[in-house]
Amino acid sequence: PNQSENPLRVLLKLSGEVFGGGQVGLAPDVVRGVAEQIAAAARSGVEIAVVIGGGNFFRGAELQTKGMDRTRADYMGMLGTVMNCLALQDFLEKQGIDTRVQTAITMGQVAEPYIPRRAMRHLEKHRVVIFGAGAGMPFFSTDTVSAQRALEIKCDMVLIAKSGVDGVYTADPKIDPSATKLDTVTFSDALAQNLRIVDAAAFSLCMENDLPMRVFGMEGEGNITRALQGEKIGTLVTT
């Protein structure tokens, strides 16, 4: 990759579904593979922050349809993300990469609280920082949190790793076979055309603050490392 185009500091969003290998719970082999790819990019000097979802454990909206109170279910969802963070931390440290987990809900025995200035300090020391428990607030998603954290800790780009799709399409390719992949798209077009690959709140936060986003498929060999190192894979979303 072209060194001069390397983003200095990036935020990587991983969905929880991936960590579960398509099931409820954790697929350690998948997490190990993801950690190896993040470690490779970290060794090459990229400053990396990570936000992980919790869809492999609980989604608040889903539990609500089964009769649970939404806000309590959302807190369960947030707690699920923390388990994913600890799993990724474990495999990153086995790769010899210093890692810190910071959570939006304090739980001092397992992680640091979210302190943005401290997170930036960790990144400067080339520690990977993993953010858990989303925003700490019900009715938010980890996509939105990714954009918010990236802005607050001054990342150059948000990288959205997707499973089963390799970028932003003109329509959902699983439903519309004539959908085509876009190399670039603006946030306003993505919003206007209702391209829901990332939630609308995440798109608008990036748009309003001029923060570029890259959406890419994590299935390809080394794709996570490549995206972290600034390679132009997937779709670039800009203002």
Q: Does 229 contact ligand UDP by CB under 6 A?
A: no
90 assigned ligand-binding residue: no
Nearer to ligand UDP, 107 or 126 (CB): 107
Q: Does 132 contact ligand UDP by CB under 6 A?
A: no
Q: Does 149 contact ligand UDP by CB under 6 A?
A: no
HEC per residue, the chain: CCHHHCCCEEEEEECHHHHCCCCCCCCHHHHHHHHHHHHHHHHCCCEEEEEECCCCCCCHHHHHHCCCCHHHHHHHHHHHHHHHHHHHHHHHHHCCCCEEEEECCCCCCCCEECCHHHHHHHHHCCCEEEEECCCCCCCCCHHHHHHHHHHHCCCCEEEEEECCCCCCECCCCCCCCCCCECCEEEHHHHHHCCCCCCCHHHHHHHHHHCCCEEEEECCCCCHHHHHHCCCCCCEEEEC
How many C-beta atoms surround the C-beta of residue 222 within 10 A?
14
* Residues in contact with ligand UDP, shown as a per-residue x/- string from 88 to 127 under the rule CB under 6 A: ----------------------------------------
Q: How far is the CB of 95 from ligand UDP (least distance, A)?
A: 23
Stretch that binds ligand UDP, among 75-83, 117-125, 173-181, 202-210 (CB under 6 A): 75-83
Q: Does 16 contact ligand UDP by CB under 6 A?
A: yes
Which residues are bridge partners to 160 per DSSP?
13, 215
Q: Does 87 contact ligand UDP by CB under 6 A?
A: no
Among 37, 89, 102, 142, binds ligand UDP (CB under 6 A): 142
162 assigned ligand-binding residue: no
Among 10, 12, 42, 54, binds ligand UDP (CB under 6 A): 54
Stretch that binds ligand UDP, among 27-35, 59-67, 158-166, 183-191 (CB under 6 A): 59-67
Nearer to ligand UDP, 168 or 230 (CB): 168
Nearest 5°: the CA angle 19, 106, 79 is: 30
**Which residues carry a binding-site annotation for UMP?**
54, 74, 135-142
Give the interface with ligand UDP as residue ranges (CB under 6 A): 15-17, 53-55, 59-61, 74, 77-78, 81, 134-135, 137-138, 140-142, 145
